[in-house]
Structure 1
Amino acid sequence: MDASTITTALVTGANKGIGRAVAEGLAGRGMTVFIGARDPDLGAKAAASLRTAGHDARAVVLDVTDPASAGAAAREVASSAGRLDVLVNNAGVSGGALHPPDEADLDVVRRVFDTNLFGVIRVTNAMLPLLRESPAARIVNVSSGTASMTHMTDPGHYFRDLPGSAAYPASKAALNMLTIQYAKRLRAARILVNAAAPGACATDFTAEFTRATGRTITRTAEQGAAIAIRLATLDDDGPTGGFFDDDGPVPW
């Protein structure tokens, strides 16, 4: 089975930023794309914008922290499309300011993990019956280069000098391990599961990173979306259980 059989996708957190760019990229490849968004108005606006550009985009209300919302979204996709070929777990939060481990507000850290890790479990498990109906299902978990323990401890990498945080990078490192576990579990079903590192892009999401590091970000959301789109459209002989950026595998 090749990528031409992949026709239906759901992208979480798709009303703006990298998620919207992923949705637009998949729609541009002829897919029906469900725009997952917590805010129904923002989701509808994003879907309408893609339809204006000639794409088949449909808004679906989806709060990844709410099991009932994930279940309702799955029922909506099932009613509309009958199956799901691609799930891109893009929705994520930073938690705002950096969270040094010795000063971390555990309530905030829990909220970050609830979206970035537990939300992926909620949505993936809700969508799995639909993914199992696909002849070539793909799951892409949008991770972060900051999840790489190799980069974080490499004296030659600028991540080594970033302030320590108990929230965002830790949640994404956990997401990487979860990606491996789903890949192991779903290998027999021939569902490919991978993690993508989109790189820091000039979106609302990276404003805090810019303030904390003083680094100027010029990478666009479209550039960041490219690796997720590539992993979402892998042929059957593509990898599973991996962590990738534009240049290939990212060291764990």
Structure 2
Amino acid sequence: MKRAFITGANKGIGLETAKQLLKKGFYVYLGSRDKQRGIEAVEKLKAENLTNVEAIQIDVTDENSVKNARIEIGKKSSVLDVLINNAGINGGAPYTALESSTAQFLSTFHTNVFGVASVTQAFIDLLRQSPEPRIVNVSTSVGSLTLQSDPNWLGYDFAKYAVYGSSKAALNMFTVHLAYELRDTAFKVNAVCPGYTKTDFTNHNGGEVEAAGKRIVKYALLDKDGVTGKFISEETNPTTGEIPW
């Protein structure tokens, strides 16, 4: 049975991704900053007869929490097949480059970039034990430098979130380097935008969470011929999925 670890998975897209992987026969470690909320999410899944799941407490901004999560999962399995770095924050208002505070930038980068690096480094040894290791960094088209500077992009005039967009652009760069460093291995590493989705993150505006989860799961299940080191947004590019950095 393949095993996956998803950060920020007690609700929204993370929870839906867990549900879909469970239905595909995975054992899922459901990461949650608040352990009780993680337990409650697991109970909901088990009520749907999805039982191969357990909650793992992890605050991706806390190195000790990340270390403890690695120890806990390591006690249960010597192999991890999929890591989905889903935990993220939007930085909050104000959203403009001239008004956003340094504290906003620091806290958002801490979660969206440094947290991803910390978790990935902590779990890379378990992932190396898998014959088909997959890493999905949950990103967004809002983090595309090319799209953000293109007046013809549909989101050009309303997707201007200086802190959030900057953090995801940095996450994309981390993804490029990670994929490069693992280029001669069986790893597949991609940045995937789940699309604008109805969750707490968007005040419940956007598309259905099932579609978002499906987009992430697709890249968690890539075969040996699958892409790596790519920036994917099937919402933006339904044909090939790939969008410019």
Same fold (TM over 0.5): yes
Counterpart CA distance in 2 for 1:218 and 1:178 is 27
Asked if residue 191 in structure 1 is aligned to residue 187 in structure 2, the reply is yes
Asked if residue 221 in structure 1 is aligned to residue 209 in structure 2, the reply is yes
Deviations 1:35-62 (A, max 9, x none): 0000011001111221222221110001
Residue 22 of structure 2, aligned match among 23, 27, 30: 27
Q: In structure 1, the residue corresponding to 2:156 is in which secondary structure?
A: helix
The structure whose RCO (Cα within 8 Å, separation 6+) is larger is: 1
Return 5+ residue gaps in structure 1 as ranges. 1-5, 211-216
Which residue matches 2:167?
171
- Superposed, 1:92-241 pairs within 5 Å as 92-162=88-158, 164-207=160-203, 217-241=205-229
Q: In structure 1, the residue corresponding to 2:31 is in which secondary structure?
A: strand
Q: In structure 2, the residue corresponding to 1:69 is in which secondary structure?
A: helix
Counterpart CA distance in 2 for 1:221 and 1:97 is 24
Q: In structure 2, the residue corresponding to 1:48 is in which secondary structure?
A: helix
Counterpart CA distance in 2 for 1:150 and 1:163 is 13
Which residue matches 2:242?
249
CA-CA distance at 1:251 after TM superposition: 1.7
Which residue matches 2:32?
37
Counterpart CA distance in 2 for 1:108 and 1:154 is 26
Distance 1:163 1:44, change over 3 A: closer
**Worse overlay, 36-45 or 158-167:** 158-167
CA-CA distance at 1:164 after TM superposition: 4.0
Counterpart CA distance in 1 for 2:94 and 2:30 is 29
Deviations 1:106-165 (A, max 9, x none): 011110000000000010000001001111100000001101122212222232112643
Which residue matches 1:213?
none
Q: In structure 2, the residue corresponding to 1:249 is in which secondary structure?
A: coil
Asked if residue 57 in structure 1 is aligned to residue 50 in structure 2, the reply is no
Q: In structure 1, the residue corresponding to 2:225 is in which secondary structure?
A: coil
Q: In structure 2, the residue corresponding to 1:103 is in which secondary structure?
A: coil
Asked if residue 14 in structure 1 is aligned to residue 9 in structure 2, the reply is yes
CA-CA distance at 1:250 after TM superposition: 1.4
TM-score by length of 1: 0.91
Return 5+ residue gaps in structure 2 as ranges. none
Q: In structure 1, the residue corresponding to 2:83 is in which secondary structure?
A: strand
Q: In structure 2, the residue corresponding to 1:227 is in which secondary structure?
A: helix
Considering only aligned residues, what root-mean-square deviation do their CA atoms show, in Å? 1.4
How much identity, in percent, do the aligned residues show? Answer: 41
Pairs aligned (count): 239
Which structure: greater helix fraction? 1
Counterpart CA distance in 2 for 1:226 and 1:159 is 23
TM-score by length of 2: 0.94
Contact 2:93 2:100 in 1 (8 A): no
Contact 1:143 1:175 in 2 (8 A): yes
Q: In structure 1, the residue corresponding to 2:105 is in which secondary structure?
A: helix
Counterpart CA distance in 1 for 2:122 and 2:29 is 15
Counterpart CA distance in 2 for 1:235 and 1:165 is 35
Contact 2:109 2:167 in 1 (8 A): yes
Q: In structure 2, the residue corresponding to 1:187 is in which secondary structure?
A: coil
